[in-house]
Amino acid sequence: MTRPIQVLVAEDDPKIAKVVEHLLRREGYQVARARDGREALTRVEVEPFDLLLLDIGLPEVDGFEVCRRVKARSDLPVIVLSARGEELDRVMGLTLGADDYIAKPFNSAELVLRVKAVLRRARSGGADSPSELQRVQRGNLTLDRSSRQAWLGEREVSLTGKEFDILWTLAQRPGQVWTREQLLQQVWDTDYMGDSSTLTVLVRRLREKIEPDPAEPQYIRTVYGVGYRFVEVPPSSV
């Protein structure tokens, strides 16, 4: 028998905490709650959590600092919850290393989907081991690595080799923020020193091919001043 998945919800707002706890328990997870950053740090030290859902605006120690400390000493997956008033790009820049970001108010289905995606990724070997995965399905988008094909629903999308590489890299780890340098290195394999305008052009072309509205990208989001991240869009909202 496998033990149930244990999630720590670090959230000082009792209403939000209650909703999140309810959603996660309904999925069969064991849920604990920390009311401030200090409590969250103490508990992740001594309890075997599989995931930390972390509010940014926490008393005692804020979410930025909690994320930094947790990621500095463990592989515990972290999903950051950010309030509407907080600029998500700034949050992402300051919590680089978090596994995903969710803005409040959040959609219930989306929260559950993101939690499952992060847990799935953590279980399939974590962020550091190369994935043997040959096919990924993200919302309406399907990618096949062996044939290097991509589909949007039933329609095949024609991608160049580099376009496919970038999309594959991003889609493998939804939510993760990639700096431009990291992406260039992934796709060119070595210490590519070329200018990052190449990447900008590639991403623009990719968006024209896969985004319903390239001016308002749903899949490949820009993180200003940092890079890009892929967002898994729930199929129902596509």
Choice between 24 and 56, CB closer to Ca ion: 56
Rg, Å, the chain Cα set: 18
Q: In one letter, which amino acid is 232?
A: E
CB of 12 to Ca ion, least distance (A): 5
Distance between CA atoms of residues 149 and 156, nearest Å: 7
SS3 at position 138: strand
Distance between CA atoms of residues 11 and 32, nearest Å: 11
User: For the chain, what's the residue count?
Assistant: 238
CB of 10 to Ca ion, least distance (A): 9
Choose among 210, 186, 216, 190: nearest CA to 199: 186
Choice between 36 and 100, CB closer to Ca ion: 36
Residue numbers of the site for Ca ion (CB under 5 A)?
Answer: 12, 55, 57
Choice between 48 and 105, CB closer to Ca ion: 105
Choice between 68 and 145, CB closer to Ca ion: 68
Task: Say which DSSP state 97 is in.
Answer: T
Distance between CA atoms of residues 69 and 201, nearest Å: 36
Choice between 58 and 203, CB closer to Ca ion: 58
Choose among 16, 115, 19: nearest CA to 57: 16
Taking CB atoms, the residue at the shortest distance from Ca ion is 57
CB of 100 to Ca ion, least distance (A): 18
> Terminal CA-to-CA distance of the chain, rounded, Å?
37
Helix axes 63-73, 37-46, angle to 10 degrees: 20
Choice between 57 and 93, CB closer to Ca ion: 57
CB of 83 to Ca ion, least distance (A): 6
CB of 47 to Ca ion, least distance (A): 21
Sign (positive/negative) of CA torsion 230, 235, 237, 238?
A: positive
CB of 57 to Ca ion, least distance (A): 4
